[in-house]
């Protein structure tokens, strides 16, 4: 394994670090202030940052192939880490924010020419937004085969019925299309029952009920998390993505690169939290000296550095495997990073909050939002327990006697 950054990665890292220092960090407070008055729309400063990102060649970096920057997972990983230092602003400024990233990947890989022209092209240009409608309130959606929403063929149309919730980005008025996951054949084999279909937001029968909160935040600045009813929603058969029964496989393909993206952004979040902690304890005095002299604080800092480095190396190994051997060969590592990295980031941010005292839970630092984000992703990207279960089963199979 060679984790050296190649020339293109180094050049993009330098360009991105400069953009973060010159434009992103100074805009964070402006973004937060504008968000208080923007409703479900994104704050206006984001448009300025997007224009500048495009001018600097920092646009659609996440997407391989002809539609994006053409980077490998290993090339994009360190860039995603940098954007994770300002997770509410930097990814969106570069048009590299979920859920649009995963949806663009689905359309690029599985969409028809007509689907790409109608939806992918404006998404690549950030003229519209999209949402991925999978999670449901009435079933344990951590097991995707539980999804109860029905997608039934009726002549030249599909009819969609179901309720979804925590559909990120859907409250934003620019969100023009949902990729909806539902069952087309409940009697098919377990992983061939589901399909994915494109449902325009303005289709009759689509009702957005409310925006859900995460730890008290509505996350309106990036489109919130909607609860949505689909009642006798009719769309043309041409809106089906790929074929009937391919929904589960598409979801897995969508989540492969996305897992690396999430994990590297989390590492960037942890790095920022560690930096804030070190600065705080170096300039804060209690009990006759700087907090940095306290043994417990030094233990936090050392442990944070070790955990971050371990997590980064595991994610880089995963990215390297995905590039060289394919996503299937990297399944163990993909499961492992989803277990390790969010827990690591939450731990580091929590220690940074503790070092800041009351300021750590206030709006005066980004730490409270970083903590909520790290904690939420341990559910949003699949519960820890599901990843541990899958990883354990794969490990057990390696040691079963032949023929068992």
Average pLDDT value for the chain: 95
Q: Model confidence over 254-289: pLDDT tens digits? A: 876 777 899 999 999 999 999 999 999 999 999 899
The pLDDT, as a whole number, for residue 66 is: 87
Distance CA 15, CA 13 (A): 5
322 cis-preceded (ω within 30 degrees of 0): no
Q: Model confidence over 299-316: pLDDT tens digits? A: 999 999 999 999 999 999
Distance CA 40, CA 174 (A): 9
Distance CA 40, CA 224 (A): 7
Q: Model confidence over 199-243: pLDDT tens digits? A: 999 999 999 999 999 999 999 999 999 999 999 999 999 999 999
pTM of the model as a whole: 0.94
Over 90: is that where the pLDDT of 94 sits? yes
The pLDDT, as a whole number, for residue 84 is: 97
- Give 297: exposed, middle or buried? Use CB within 10 Å, 0-12, 13-18, 19+: buried
The pLDDT, as a whole number, for residue 97 is: 96
Structure token digits, residue 137: 């309130």
Over 70: is that where the pLDDT of 403 sits? no
Over 70: is that where the pLDDT of 404 sits? no
Q: Model confidence over 333-381: pLDDT tens digits? A: 999 999 999 999 999 999 999 999 999 999 999 999 999 999 999 998 8
What is Dmax (Cα atoms) for the chain?
A: 79
The pLDDT, as a whole number, for residue 65 is: 85
Over 80: is that where the pLDDT of 402 sits? no
% of residues, the chain, pLDDT over 90: 91
Residue 61, CB half-sphere, CA atoms under 13 Å: how many? Answer: 33
Q: Model confidence over 34-89: pLDDT tens digits? A: 999 999 999 999 999 999 999 999 999 999 888 999 999 999 999 999 999 999 99
Beta strands in 61-205 (DSSP E): 129-133, 150-154, 157-168, 175-183, 194-200
- Give 2: exposed, middle or buried? Use CB within 10 Å, 0-12, 13-18, 19+: exposed
Q: Model confidence over 113-155: pLDDT tens digits? A: 999 999 999 999 999 999 999 999 999 988 888 999 999 999 9
Q: Model confidence over 100-109: pLDDT tens digits? A: 999 999 999 9
- List, in sequence order, the alpha helices (H) in 128-168: none
Structure token digits, residue 66: 């002809």
Per the listing, tokens 């539902």 go with: 182
The pLDDT, as a whole number, for residue 252 is: 82
The pLDDT, as a whole number, for residue 257 is: 73
């Amino acid at each position: 394994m060679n984790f050296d950054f190649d020339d293109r990665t180094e050049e993009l890292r330098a360009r991105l670090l400069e953009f973060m220092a010159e434009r992103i960090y100074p805009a964070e407070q402006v973004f937060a202030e504008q968000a208080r008055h923007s409703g479900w729309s994104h704050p206006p400063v984001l448009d300025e940052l997007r224009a500048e990102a495009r001018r600097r060649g920092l646009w659609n970096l996440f997407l391989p192939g002809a539609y994006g920057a053409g980077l490998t997972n290993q090339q994009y990983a360190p860039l995603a880490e940098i954007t994770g230092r300002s997770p509410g602003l930097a990814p969106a400024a570069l048009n590299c924010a979920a859920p649009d990233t995963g949806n663009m990947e689905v359309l690029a890989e599985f969409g028809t020419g007509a689907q790409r022209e109608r939806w992918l092209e404006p998404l690549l240009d950030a003229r519209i937004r999209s949402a991925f409608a999978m999670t449901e309130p009435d079933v344990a959606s951590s097991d995707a085969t539980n999804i109860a929403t029905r997608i039934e063929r009726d002549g030249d149309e599909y009819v969609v019925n179901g309720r979804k919730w925590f559909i990120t980005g859907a409250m934003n008025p620019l969100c023009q299309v949902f990729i909806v996951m539902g069952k087309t054949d409940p009697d098919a084999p377990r992983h061939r029952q589901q399909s994915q279909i494109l449902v325009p937001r303005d289709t009759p029968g689509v009702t957005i009920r409310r925006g859900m909160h995460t730890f008290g935040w509505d996350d309106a600045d990036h489109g919130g998390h909607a609860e949505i009813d689909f009642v006798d929603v009719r769309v043309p058969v041409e809106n089906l993505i790929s074929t009937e029964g391919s929904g589960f496989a598409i979801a897995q393909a969508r989540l492969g690169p996305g897992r690396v993206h999430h994990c590297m952004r989390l590492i960037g979040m942890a790095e920022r939290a560690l930096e804030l902690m070190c600065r705080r304890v170096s300039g804060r005095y209690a009990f006759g000296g700087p907090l940095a002299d306290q043994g417990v604080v030094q233990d936090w800092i050392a442990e944070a550095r070790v955990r971050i480095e371990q997590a980064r190396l595991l994610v880089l190994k995963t990215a390297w495997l995905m590039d060289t051997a394919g996503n299937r060969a990297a399944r163990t590592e993909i499961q492992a990073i989803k277990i390790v990295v969010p827990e690591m980031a939450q731990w580091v941010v929590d220690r940074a909050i503790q070092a800041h005292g009351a300021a750590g839970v206030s709006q005066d630092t980004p730490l409270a939002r970083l903590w909520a984000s790290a904690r939420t992703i341990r559910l949003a990207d699949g519960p820890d327990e599901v990843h541990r279960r899958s990883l354990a089963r794969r490990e057990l199979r390696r040691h079963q006697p032949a023929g068992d």
